Amino acid sequence: MDKERIMIRVDHVTKKYRLGMIDGASARKDRRYRRTGNEEYAADTILAVNDVSFDVTEGEVVGIVGHNGAGKSTLLKMISAVTVPTEGEICLGGKVASMLEVGTGFNPELTGRENIYLNGAILGMKRKEIDAKIDEIIEFSECGRFIDTPVKRYSSGMYMKLAFSVAVNLDAEIVMMDEVLAVGDVNFRNKCIAKIMEISRSGRTILFVSHNIHMIRMLCKRCIVMNEGRIEFDGDVEDAVHRYVIEDVSNEEGRNLADMERVLDSDGLCHMEHIELIDGKAGNAYETGEKLHFRLSWTAEKKLPPMQLRIGIWTDDKRAVGISYSEIFDPWENGTDALAFDTEVELDISGLAPGKYNLEMIMLEIFMDGSFVKHDALRGTIAFSVSAAPGNLLYSRYNNSWGYFDVSPAKIESSRQTDGRQTDREGQDL
Amino acid sequence: MKYNIHMNSSGKWEKVIRPHGRLLQVDLKGLWAYRDLVLMLIKRDFVTQYKQTILGPAWAVIKPLLTTLVFTVFFGGLAKLTTADAASAADLVLPGFLFYMLGTVVWDYFAAVVSETSTLFIDNQQIMGKVYFPRLVMPVTIALSKLISFVIQFALFIAIYVVCAFAGLAEVHLSWTVILFPVLMLELMLLAASFGMLISALTVKYRDMQMMLGFFMQLWRYGSPLAYGLLLIPETWRTVYLLNPFAPVVTAMRCVMFGEGFFDWRFYALSWVTVCALALIGLAAFNKTERTFIDTV
């Protein structure tokens, strides 16, 4: 391709919103501002989108991530022309279908079929186009039996399924989605993802806003990270994901825990000061099948009953993989009065799949009835990576469907023949 | 990132979204492209309007009949207000019922379009805040959708008129001018839509206008020759009275329907001038509001 066609050009776009209520007081203030030009009477404003520029070429699937209030949805609203920018301009090279919210314009009194036509028309489809696709849409929605029932009788799941089906079956060159995949059950969601992939393969341009980083990773190659109205990063999705979610907790010299913010509840009787991996691995990098050793330095307010460590393993994009309860230990069993200890721990991570992980560390006391009390708790204490050991034949992994944990190799105990066939050599079993 | 601003104006884009647009633009192409949406919305309005009522669409005719009855009893029977528009028409034999019914049917359509158009941004913020379609689709839909019940009511009016004529209760002075009725209707549609659009733009930021509108419409109804004939207005005040664009139109309607009444080219032409001016103001206000209403609604 000698020249890529630009489908979306966002050119120095800014969107300003005013804060506060609109009432008699604000009207008086506005009037005073217009008359005097005194900044004191100007309305408080916020730049929801601040001087943003980017291009999207045909067939690209671009993810947009950012924390709440970063300006993602405002940006999509402007691209779909629901509102206009305060400054700058947006140029579009094709018809836009926005799925800003699934089910927009559904009327509860109308039947599923009528709503498909209505919703399709709102999204810019012609009646003939809908006629041609209605069977496909109904089948995709899995609502076939209820299609001639008013949608107010639908369950909320069915409602969303039907709405999504209309939206994904649109023929627009540019498709925009804002958190639309939070619908339906797991099966339906997978179907939707497959459909979106199909859309992107068909050369259509997709803008995809989501908090679900896995979805972004799966669907997009390019990703834009927004923060406080500005583009913080625009480029390869892996780099973007690292910027957006991944806690950079890797630290070869260990990590000082004393001043980390405690977000989890605990009674504070213990205080973790420092954690360090003691396997001497460069970059905290392990290979599959290896075990991990760390040293935890901690202090206590007073002597405490025997306790346990609960070690949670998390992926770098904040998914819990599993936990390990340590053996019960009692640092005071030799009668010491010390209140500061270094505890060395071996953690068997040989089953962990290649990937990036970090450890959650909780010191707790478990009572006979199964209840427990946390003495100190921290998330994201230290990070490490696991890569495939050399000689591992499988060089590709699909964590989304394979998970993060490899159960130790299944042992083949026997294989007995169950039909009557014989080999040439009489009487010999296989 | 490279930017070449000059490329933007070359017209290679399907659509360019800018902070400001032209105020008096009517996106006819866009409206035509979304004609199916207009039809679907009209259908939706019609289907859902009488859901979960026992009498269903019969309400479309019951309501104006009741109003007409009230007018006939109170304004005609008790207050004995004149139903004549011009002194010469005094010899026209016309049951008051027909007079009031035509006025009621026309006014009900007019008022329904105004009130629904005036809140269209607030009523439809769910849809309009999420998806773009030419915003003029909404007023067009409202004006057309209300026409359905108008046509039903008007047909009933015609039926009663015909029955009265055959029973000898009314004289029929129909002339070719009756074919001008749709033109008068069109003028009312335009007036209602323009006025509604103006109010809709004004209610987005401050809802006060909405509070005022109900009272204003009441005033407008009784300030128009609907419950009485034009003859009730003293000669000296008639010029001022006829500045109300609704008045010359409704008297012209009676003129073409009943064959006699009041029609003055000057006032009628003036009503068109007022309607067109209001249409331009309404359109400009609507276009200005439509672009960012979702930020303030």
One DSSP character per residue, A303-345 reads ----BEEEEEEEETTS-EEEEEEPPPB-TTTT-----EEEEEE
CA distance B51 to chain A (A): 8
Does residue A348 belong to any structural domain of this protein? yes
CA–CA separation, B114 and B224 (whole Å): 16
Backbone angles phi, psi at B230, to 5 degrees: -60, -25
B126 neighbourhood in chain A, CB within 8 Å: 104-105
Is B181's pLDDT higher than 50?
yes
CA distance A101 to chain B (A): 7
Answer whether B121 touches A (CB < 8 Å): no
A107 neighbourhood in chain B, CB within 8 Å: 44, 48
| Residue whose tokens read 């396997």 | A279
Which DSSP helix (H) or strand (E) runs through B189?
Answer: helix B181-205
Does residue A416 belong to any structural domain of this protein? no
Q: Domain containing A64 — which CATH number?
A: 3.40.50.300
Q: Are residues A344 and A287 in the same domain?
A: yes
ipTM for the complex?
A: 0.76
- A127-141 helix and A156-168 helix, angle to the nearest 10 degrees: 130
Cβ-nearest to A27 among B20, B130, B206: B206
Q: Are residues A266 and A158 in the same domain?
A: no
Q: Are residues A194 and A83 in the same domain?
A: yes
Does residue A51 belong to any structural domain of this protein? yes
Q: Domain containing A276 — which CATH number?
A: 2.70.50.60
Contact B18 A92 (CB under 8 A): no
Report H helices in A43-111: 72-79
Select, from the ranges A126-130, A192-196, B69-73, B186-190, the one with the highest average predicted confidence (pLDDT): B186-190
Could you list the beta-strand ranges (E) of chain B: 15-17
Contact B115, B196 (CB under 8 A): yes
- Number of structural domains found in chain A: 2
CA distance A100 to chain B (A): 6
Is B188's pLDDT higher than 90?
yes
Which DSSP helix (H) or strand (E) runs through B293?
Answer: helix B293-296
Is B6's pLDDT higher than 50?
no
Q: Are residues A314 and A222 in the same domain?
A: no
Please tell me which residue of chain A has the smallest CA distance to B10.
A91
Q: What is residue B5's predicted lDDT score, i.e. its pLDDT?
A: 39
Q: What is the DSSP string of B31-81?
A: HHHTHHHHHHHHHHHHHHHTTT-SSGGGHHHHHHHHHHHHHIIIIIIIS--
Cβ-nearest to A92 among B13, B21, B206: B13
Contact A89 B131 (CB under 8 A): no
Domain stops at, among A189, A221, A244: A244
Does residue A422 belong to any structural domain of this protein? no
Tokens of B82: 């004149």
Residue A260 pLDDT level (bands cut at 50, 70, 90): confident
How confident is the model over B267-279, as pLDDT tens digits? Answer: 999 999 999 999 9
Residue B97 pLDDT level (bands cut at 50, 70, 90): confident
Lowest-confidence range among A233-247, A288-302, A324-338? A233-247
Q: Are residues A271 and A378 in the same domain?
A: yes
Q: Are residues A238 and A303 in the same domain?
A: no
Q: What is residue A369's predicted lDDT score, i.e. its pLDDT?
A: 87
Domain span at residue A78? Answer: 6-244
Q: Are residues A298 and A229 in the same domain?
A: no
Does residue A197 belong to any structural domain of this protein? yes
Contact A94 B14 (CB under 8 A): yes
Contact A82 B37 (CB under 8 A): no
Contact A305, A365 (CB under 8 A): yes
Residues above pLDDT 70, as percent of chain B: 94
Residue A176 pLDDT level (bands cut at 50, 70, 90): confident
Q: Are residues A291 and A205 in the same domain?
A: no
Residue A201 pLDDT level (bands cut at 50, 70, 90): confident
Residues above pLDDT 70, as percent of chain A: 90
Name every residue whose Cβ is closer than 8 Å to that of residue A380 and which is 6 or more positions away in sequence. A247, A249, A314, A358, A359, A360
Residues A53-59 have a mean pLDDT of: 91
Q: What is residue B196's predicted lDDT score, i.e. its pLDDT?
A: 95
Cβ-nearest to B51 among A17, A109, A121: A109
Residue B88 pLDDT level (bands cut at 50, 70, 90): low
Contact B8 A118 (CB under 8 A): no
Residue B215 pLDDT level (bands cut at 50, 70, 90): very high
Q: Are residues A299 and A233 in the same domain?
A: no
